[in-house]
Every structure is written in C-alpha cells, then in structure tokens.
A and B are shown apart, each in its own frame.
Chain A
Amino acid sequence: MREPVIKTEKLTKRFGDFVAVNEISFETYPGEIFGFLGANGAGKTTAMRMLCGLSIPTSGKATVAGFDVFTHRDDIKQNIGYMSQKFSLYEDLTVLENIEFYAGIYGLTDREIKDRTDELIQKLGLQKEAKHLVASLPLGWKQKLAFSVALIHRPKVVFLDEPTSGVDPVTRRQFWNMIYEASANGVGIFVTTHYMDESEYCHRISIMVDGNIEALDTPANLKKKFEADSMDEVFYQLARGAKRQAD
C-alpha cells in the first residue's frame, strides 16, 4: 500500500462558534490528482490553509507529505508547492530571476538552482524569453511558468488554487498536460476550484458543503451515483441546500 501524501482524520477548524471545517477525513496518494470542490464559503480555503501549514486546526489529525500539521509545519512548507490563481510571479522580474528567486527561498544549492533553471527553461521552451520580464509574457505562459516554479524544489504534493480560470481552451489543455506529467512523476496534486468542468480532469474529487465533505469519489462514479450528465449537475444537487452565504 502506498503512503498517502495527504491524510486527514476528523480535521476541524472553528472560529468561535463558527465551524468553518467540520471533521473532514480523506487521503490522497502520490501521483493522484485530487479535486477539492465547494461553493464560496464552504470552507475550501480554510481547509487548504491548514494543510499548507498556514493555520492550526482546532481538532482532528492531519499529515501532509508525512509531516504533522500541528507539530511540523515548517517541514510541511519545505515539501509542498503552491500556486494560486494570481500566479504569484514577480511581474517586474525576468523569467530567469523569478525561477532563481523561488529556487533560492527553498534553500536549493547554487548548483541545483542552475541545473533546474536550465532544465526548466528548456522544457518550457522559454530560451528566448528567459531574460524578458514576466509582465510581457502571455497569460498562458505565466501560468505554466508559475506551475513549474511551484515544482522547482521537487515537492511531494502541490496545491493549486483555481489554476486555470480565464485562459483559452488550448492553453488550458497544455496546462493540464503539465499537471498530468507531474502526476505521472509521482507528485500528488491538490486542486481547488469551483468550476465543475475543471473537476472532471481530476482522478478523484471531494465536494464540500457548509464545512462538510458531502461526496468523495471519481467523477464517473459521482455522476452515476447522482444520475447526472455532468459534474455541474452533481454539484448543483449537493450545494443547493447550502445554508451558508458567508465570504
């Protein structure tokens, strides 16, 4: 049996009386693309923050990349990658500088930084643009670069926060190809999104409603179970009853 990269057991976060995340339990595995879905205010962001070591859970258990979220948050940070929808690249630095910067803050040696930067530039085909400012790149390339940068320190699991909104379908495909490739190399992928068509690219998905995980399975099984044509419909059936309108 493979070791899970993320494992949670009754993980809970309360803010005063408000239960943002209520006893969620799930496991994800190396190479698995795990979709983490939910409406606005369902508790996705809070859950993800706990898993990234940015917020301490109220109760329950969780390990990420084998480290405990209560006691080893610094180790977790060293072993995960993170990419948000804003890409978190410095627009006023060049492609090269961005890569070197992120490699640097993860404490790679100079040798590693150089090798991996070269390799990455090669792979993305950005040789010509390496010395250009990131601001001048098209959206799709920024996205690919951001994803590659999130992987530069070879994390065991990478968190993607709504990664593909707004790009054209072809670029989006290329992006998913990169995700598949990373997954084929054994990296665990954790994607949050509220776009259902995106979720169908995932191996397994969970759907959060009002702080609880209401469904967790492969997209195909979920569609079968809810007798729905699309994930959109599955989600609609589940989330319609949501009481929270927070955010």
Chain B
Amino acid sequence: MKQFFTFVRKEFYHVFRDPKTLLMLFGIPVVQIVLFGFALTNEIKNSKIVVADYAHDNASAEIINKIKASAYFDIQESLMSHEQIEEAFRSGKIKLAVVFPANFNNDLVHLNHAQIQVLADASDPNTATALTNYISSIVNDYQMALLKTQQIPYRIVPEFRMLYNPQLKGATNFVPGVMSLVMMLVCVMMTAVSIVREKELGTMEILLVSPFKPILVVISKAVPYLFLSLVNLTTILLLSVFLLDLPINGSILLLYAESSLFILTCLAVGLLISTKTDSQQAAMMMSLMGMMLPTLLFTGFLFPIENMPWPLQAISHFVPSRWYYIIVKSVMIKGLGISQIWKETLILFGMMLFFLGVSIKSFKIRLA
C-alpha cells in the first residue's frame, strides 16, 4: 500500500512541477467555456416535431400542410396529451411540439382571434430559436393569405413556451460539451503521455524489473488523473453556475458519479493508447486525432447528430462522450434522475469495462 501511495505522490509531483501540464489541466476548461460561449451556430434540418391537432378543422389542416411542405421538419401527427408531449421532450424524441386547441377555426372565424401553442426544447437553444421562428413565419404566411381573401382581419397568436431553458441560454448546450471535451483531453492525453514518458525515460524498465506489480503501475497512474479530473469538473461547474448563471437542476452527487464513470472510461482509453505508442508525440497525436476530434464532431454539442448522414450517426454511437453528453444534459439541465438515464449509464459502463479490459490485457509486463 505504501508503494502505491508513493507512486501516486510522485505523479502529483510530475503534474505540479510542469507549468505546461498545469496550464493544460486548468487553463483549458476556462478557455473553452469562454470560447464556446461565443461561437455556436447550429442547423436544424430534419428536426423531429410533433403536431397535436385537437381542432381538426380546415384552418388547422391548412397550416399543418404548410409545415409539412417544409423540408426542415420530420413531422409526426398524433393527438398527444400534454403529459405525453412532456414525456417525449424528456426522452429527447422531439425538438418541438405544435398544439392546435379544439376550437381553433371557430375561434378564428367567430372571435377573429385564435391561439396555437408552440413548445420547444430549449436545452438546445439555437435549434429551439430557429424552429420557433420558422413556425411563426409559417403562421404569419397563413394569416396574410387569409387577409387577402377576407375583409375581416383574423389574428392567430402562437404562444411559445421554451421548455427547460426559458431564457434560451447557449450555455446549457456547451457546458456539458466542454465537460466531456475537457475530461477526454485531460484523462486520455495525460494518462497516455505520462505512461509513455516513462517508457521514453527508461524508468518503465526499472519499474517493470521491480517487484511493484504492473497492474499497480496502471492504477497508480489512474488515481491522480481521476482526482485531477474531478477537480476540473468542479472548476467547470463553478464557472457555469457563477459565471454563466446556469443552475444545476439535478442531483450533484449523480453528476459526479456519472462523471467518474466517464473519467474512468477515458483513463482506460489513455492507457490503451500508451500501450500502443512509444513516443510522447505519437501518444499526443493519437489522443488528439483519435479522441478530441470525435468528441468535437460526434458528441452533438457542436453539430447536431440528427443532421448527420446515417454512417456518421452510427459512428457516433461508439463515442463515449456522446453518451456522457446526454447524461450531463439530462442531469444538469433537465434535472432528471438515474431512472431516466440508466440506459446511457449502462452503455458508458460497458464501454469502460471494454476499454479497461483491452488495455490491461495489452499492458505489457515486458518490453516486447
């Protein structure tokens, strides 16, 4: 046990004595949060929306046809109750819901004034804004057309409700994204590089020749980075709560537990990279190309996955950060509990076991 603690202490020395590592560890989250806070544009192709038509009259049918005519939406017509719609939002199945009240045409004709309810999932604020804008322009078009044929001015008032993120804060989107990115970067790269550095230095040879068990080498490498990543997580959360006014709606404990799971997955990936490379540069390149890019591309916080061609969507299923991103969004922003995210958690757990298994198996107790 004492050997183990000595080893862990040594790892901390390495980290704290290298200004570059420190900068990477703690500078990156801050920079990323600030950076991603500004530049974010999303496309909204093929967004799933639900239309609940309780009116079933000419007016509603016409508007629905116009919505259907647009290439942007993937429309599902169903008479959902508000509870069902809510449920569909939570599970992430839909981005937007349009509800026509029962007396839509009646109200319009007799009162000259009718309402449509538009609900949007604003945890993805860019998509939500774009979608609601689109719906309101369609409704406006319809109004204008009516005006030309009739003399009486009809008014249709869409009532918008942004779910989960009423102020449409972009932060809800990128904070979970940055979290998965930073965890990935720190854990994968740091672990890989720190092990490969020992190979380069030749100290790995001595460690292997020592009675210290190789598996303990692996664990003692993992512990400091797990700890540092949790520190990092705390930094990000503090930043997002106090700087970006983004509250944590779900259980903090659950958030940390899920994050630890993701960190372990990343550590396992880093370990795997370290067993396959012999130089620090190679390890760094592999971590960047192999991990950073997929995280950026396939997590869904920069580019909505639903807009991608199916092969890319399929690939995204194998990217751990995609699942972590969903989990963080659910827990942090939607305030959901484990019962709603057990599937993602299970997938992540499976991935962790897989990577850990493979990397421990390929960790060599000898040099070649």
Whether the complex brings A and B within 8 Å at their CB atoms is answered no
